Amino acid sequence: MGRVQGKVAIVTGAAKGIGAASAKALAREGAKVICSDMDEEGGEAMAAEIQRTGGEAIFVAHDVTDEAQWANVVKVAEDRFGGLNIVVNNAGIAPTGGPIEDLELNDWRKLIAVDLDSVFLGCKYGIKTIKKSTEKGQKGSIINISSINGQKGQMGQTNYSAAKAGVIGFTKALAQEVAKKGVTVNVIAPGYIDTEMVAAVPPKVLESIIATIPVGRLGKAEEIAHCVTFLADEKSAFITGATFTANGAQYIAG
């Protein structure tokens, strides 16, 4: 049996990158997965790929900044699969930035909405349903995806660094709030991962980034997905409020 056999999971931003890898990993470990994304073509393809390999998955078109759509995707989990056990808040947009005096308020608000408000909404609506499962003795899991830049900050990315640091603080607070309700809340802070977002970085800049990573390479989305399945496992019930740093020793948080 898989680590999350028979459980129901929502993974946001599941069309590609870390979200896609996490959706596939959870399905391989026995979960029924709702692939959530605004990219309908990519999301449908991901759900179909999971189904072809013997897993259970469906796609739901979902704007993670919209409260009503969060209520809907959780209802889909209940109606289609009978409940909800796991939420992976992964959806995010690429850093936009530059000097703060050049950063427009709308750009600030858009990134905060996608990268931080979405985590609040996912937890608000997800936990209400997850608690129904914990009352039956099953562990509930919230896994929020932050970033190395939420831990150390990144020059020229004040909005992105603020949002991702906010995810970490939010996770610590919520973990304490729901600890006695059978729900663990943890955060993964990836370093530079070989995804489309990182691939968009100019080659010379990317070379300079890799030079600062002690293991000498970019991370793989599958390596972050492994952290997701570990944290969702029933055997990880004593781990909550934790920040999993997965960055090849580029930044070591004590």
d(C-alpha 128, C-alpha 208), whole Å: 45
Residue that is written with structure tokens 């580029």 in the block: 250
Beta bridge pairs of residue 160: none
Please indicate whether residue 192 is annotated as part of the active site. Answer: no
Name the active-site residue from 125, 160, 192, 251: 160
The residues carrying an active-site annotation are 160
